[in-house]
Amino acid sequence: MNFLQELKRRHVYRVVAAYAVVGWLLIQVTTQVFPVFHLPDWIDQAVVLLILVGFPIALVLAWAFDATPHGIVATDAQDAGANPRMRRRSHRAGTTVGAIGVLIALIAGGAYWQFGRRATSPAAEAAETARVATSRPDGAQRNPGMVAAQPIPAKSIAVLPFENLSSDKDNAYFSDGMQDLILTKLADIGELKVISRTSTMKYASHPDDLKTIAQQLGVATILEGSVQKAGNQVLINVQLIDARSDNHIWAQSYTRTLDNVFGVEGEVAQKIADALKATLSPVESAQLAAVPTTNRAAYDLFLRAEFFANKGNVNYVPADFRAAIPLYRQAIAQDPDFALAYARLSFAESGVVWFGSGEDDVRQLVADARAQAEKALALQSNLVTAYLAFGYNAYWGRQDYPAALKAFAAALKLRPNDAEALAATGYVLRRQGHFDAAIRAMQQALVLDPRNSTIADNLAETCAVVGRYVEAAQYYRRALALDPDNYQARSDYSSLILVSSGDAARALEMAQGEAPQLQLERVQLLMYQRKYPDALSVLAEIPDSADAFNYQSGPKLLWQANLHRLMGDDAQARALYAQALSKSRSRVATLAGNDDKLSFVWNHVAVAELGLGRLDDALAAAAKSQTLSTRSGDRFFGMGVTGLNAGTYAQAGRADLALPLLAKAFPTPPGLGTTYSPATLGLDPVWDPIRHDPRFQVFLQQYAGYKPASADAIVPNAAGPATPASAASNEAAHD
């Protein structure tokens, strides 16, 4: 019997045919069905690979074994001349053996899906990316602006800032708005990894080294574009580039008038999806085709408002949010069904509430922001931006953390790879005290928005809260490498150095810069060093603005009063305390209904009352502050408020009231936090009135010798003077 006859006798031909049919069907199911559930590309590749691996297994089984009525036996043991019925059964059994080979491949694939997926879940990938991108075994930083080395999905894209080719440079808002609208449409495609605007905005429109930029952002493709607006005419040029080969994948020009430019962003997104072979669900196709408005005036006003709102969101400047609000309102007046404008108006109003100084009518803004978000959802129930707006209103405006998480979850259900929704989820979880879960959410957001210095800063601060000081320092260095002018990160890093090591001198080096917040940080550190005249001198240089001395930091008058009291100038201190009290009480009225912010302001009232010698009023105000903080449910800022009130009680000589709160400000294990730690207790003069109280000494003894990290571990190779930052200070810049 020759080899071909032997293959036929052993039914190998039938196995090959059966395996080919079943394998082809599986591949079709994989490529058609998996994208609907937005499963990553590697799953498709794994299924195909496992089918190929299973083929030789099926051939070996078909050659060696066959199934008979007596069970599976070695083929050689069968009688080649068996009766026809037996042969027919054996033929069918041979096909069964082939199916067993396919089954083996499927079982292996299932195991890989179950366990491999678990090992490489988005949270795990994000955590590993953040870890590798920011650290080396020696503690030094490894190119903090780079995404960790990992496979870059082919269906990934970054949209660089569009070039404004208009002769009128004031039309920059139009090119910026067009870029943002296209990016938002792309983000609605679940199969694509789309890098957030924050990470791309600092690049040039047409940079030379696209390959390096793509590596920094973790994408395979780059979209470049330009917009030229002249009168009623608009010319939009876009080109999609494979960053790995620097080859153009697709390019197109769109000539429009302002009367028919609507929807071009959806057309561009659809072309990109086609070029990248992204499969869209019916819902996603409908989202791409949807046009936010067909009213020319409303469209233009909306893009102008977006220009200011995006600036406000990047720099946390309340004035930019305020500038956007009337433009959104005018856009809505032109088109009352403009759902996106309602949503963005809500967001801008919430931005004023959160980042404002407390001078605005907070209650009215919060109520209106909620109404605008609800209107947007009523007009368009699947609008991601509307869910984000409702989430920010619940978080920033009402401190309704469950409602905020529900809204952000709804946004993520519609757009699973939305970095903003992921980061916001992390910020809310942090407020609830779920710090580990918050860290995981922020790490995922940082993968999708890898050059976002603000996310890196907030991630660092959250790591510090749970005592992961060295990891926190790595994220701070990443934030500052991405944006040397991020004064918030520099100030936070300075605080980390102090609370982790007690090295005020090293912390002072990190706090250099001209931003008011950095100046205030230096004032505090000079107070810890008992250099009160120097602190007063630095304080005098800070402009007395509401944004520099906001609801959290307190009035400038209060800082001056405290320094004069520490210097022994009681008469001057009392005069300043009286003025500070008046200013703080006026803030109580404007912040009515916002327990989180009011908890800080009532502490300022308590300090001023105490400085004026009104002990009972001071104790009552401190108790009010603590009650509001507890009621707000804020476990993040709440620790800071608790520490402030403990200090106020200490200044009143009430160790019995101070120590229980101080213990709350030091969760278990000891030393956690970003403001107070055992390392600062010996430095801060606020504890001087009870420093020799036996109860305070017992408290100190609990932490004797406790030092969670050395300054060298937190600041490898020491930190030189900072790059001066010029942005306005806003202590509430934390999300």
Peptide bond into 721 cis (omega under 30): no
Q: CB within 8 A of 432, min separation 6: which ones?
A: 401, 633, 635
Which one-letter DSSP state was computed for residue 115? I
Q: What is the dihedral of CA 266, 270, 275, 278, to 10 degrees?
A: 120
Cβ atoms 105, 112 nearer than 8 A: no
Cα–Cα dist 473/125, whole Å: 21
Beta-strand ranges (E) seen in 184-220 are 193-194
Per residue, the 3-state secondary structure of 671-720, as one string, reads CCCCCCCHHHHCCCHHHHHHCCCHHHHHHHHHCCCCCCCCHHHHCCCCCC
pLDDT of residue 275: 93
Q: Which two tokens stand for residue 526?
A: 């000079």
- Nearest Cα to Cα of residue 611 among 578, 568, 644, 657: 578
First to last CA, the chain: 79
Give one word for 432, left, alpha or beta, with left for phi > 0 and alpha for psi -120 to 50.
alpha
- What residues does each domain of the chain span? 3-120, 156-291, 298-416, 519-733
Cα–Cα dist 410/387, whole Å: 7
Cα–Cα dist 100/66, whole Å: 11
Question: Containing H/E element for 223?
Answer: strand 221-230
Q: What is the dihedral of CA 325, 327, 330, 334, to 10 degrees?
A: -130
- Give the Cβ contact number of residue 692 at 10 Å: 8
pTM: 0.72
Cα–Cα dist 222/125, whole Å: 23
Alpha-carbon torsion (723, 725, 730, 732), positive or negative: negative
Q: CB within 8 A of 586, min separation 6: which ones?
A: none
Cα–Cα dist 444/423, whole Å: 8
- Buried-exposed string 599-613: b where 16+ CB fall within 10 A, e elsewhere: bbbbbbbbbbbbbbe
Q: CB within 8 A of 692, min separation 6: which ones?
A: none
CATH of 519-733 among 2.60.120, 1.25.40, 2.80.10, 4.10.240: 1.25.40
Backbone angles phi, psi at 288, to 5 degrees: -65, -35
Cβ atoms 676, 643 nearer than 8 A: yes
What Rg, from alpha-carbon coordinates, does the chain have?
31
Is 432 strand, coil or helix?
coil
Cα–Cα dist 476/237, whole Å: 38
pLDDT of residue 469: 87
List for the chain the helix, strand, coil content (%; round to 5): 65, 5, 30
- Exposure of 245 in the CB half-sphere (CA atoms within 13 A): 6
Angle between helices 172-187 and 296-315 (to 10 degrees): 80
Alpha-carbon torsion (508, 509, 510, 512), positive or negative: positive
Query: Rounded to an integer, what is the distance from CA 264 to the centroid of its chain?
Result: 29
Question: Containing H/E element for 401?
Answer: helix 401-414
Backbone angles phi, psi at 148, to 5 degrees: -60, 150
- Exposure of 369 in the CB half-sphere (CA atoms within 13 A): 31
Apex CA 419: angle with CA 415 and CA 421, to 5°? 65
pLDDT of residue 1: 53
pLDDT lower than 70: segments of the chain: 1-13, 24-25, 27-48, 59-60, 62-150, 357-359, 667-674, 704-711, 717-734
Cα–Cα dist 201/160, whole Å: 7
Cβ atoms 152, 219 nearer than 8 A: yes
Superfamily of domain 298-416, CATH level 4: Tetratricopeptide repeat domain (1.25.40.10)
Q: CB within 8 A of 563, min separation 6: which ones?
A: 523, 527, 532, 535, 536, 539
Cα–Cα dist 677/104, whole Å: 58
Topology match between the domains 298-416 and 519-733: yes
Cα–Cα dist 199/196, whole Å: 6
Backbone angles phi, psi at 194, to 5 degrees: -120, 125
Cβ atoms 423, 456 nearer than 8 A: no
Cβ atoms 471, 458 nearer than 8 A: no
Cβ atoms 648, 689 nearer than 8 A: no
CATH of 156-291 among 1.10.10.10, 3.65.10.10, 2.40.50.140, 3.40.50.10610: 3.40.50.10610
Peptide bond into 669 cis (omega under 30): yes
Cβ atoms 243, 221 nearer than 8 A: yes
Cβ atoms 443, 130 nearer than 8 A: yes
In order of 530, 553, 611, 647, 661, the CA distances from 652 in angstroms are 20, 21, 10, 9, 14
Angle between helices 453-465 and 419-431 (to 10 degrees): 30
